[in-house]
Amino acid sequence: MKSYDAVEVGEELPELGIPLTRTMIVATALASRDYQDVHHDPSLAVERGSKDVFMNILTTNGLVDRYVTGWAGPAAVVKAIKIRLGAPNYPGDTMVLTGTVTAKHDDRRVEISVRGINAIGPHVTGTVVVQLQGSGS
């Protein structure tokens, strides 16, 4: 568990590589009730101009949350996630998430700049704000 007192601005979170399997992309789209065919039907995705099915934003958002809370620990409270999508996440690739602490606030909130890169380029960029416990909490 990360303590607010131990976190420094400029601290880098450890990288997290996430293999992008077809099953993961399809299953997470369906689990998030996103039934758009571009997330589960390869031939229709191609028909619509994509090279294959691709990950939906809800899955990306969840993976960013998982990445930051995995670093911060179970006592952390996510206060905000603001992300922007770029290059699609296609099956067979790997997305590597990285993060850097960019600010600390007196109310124990910590801002983290996050990026997820795949073979094409940046898939996701954004900021996550978490509230951490103190060293004695």
The per-residue pLDDT for range 20-44, each reduced to its tens digit, is 999 999 999 999 998 888 899 899 9
pLDDT in the model for residue 1: 84
Cα separations (Å) of 4 from 19, 62, 73, 101, 112?
31, 23, 11, 11, 13
Q: What is the value of pTM for the model shown?
A: 0.93
CATH architecture type of domain 4-131: Roll (3.10)
The domains of the chain are located at 4-131
Question: If you ran DSSP here, which 8-state letter would residue 136 be given?
Answer: T
For residue 62, is pLDDT > 50?
yes
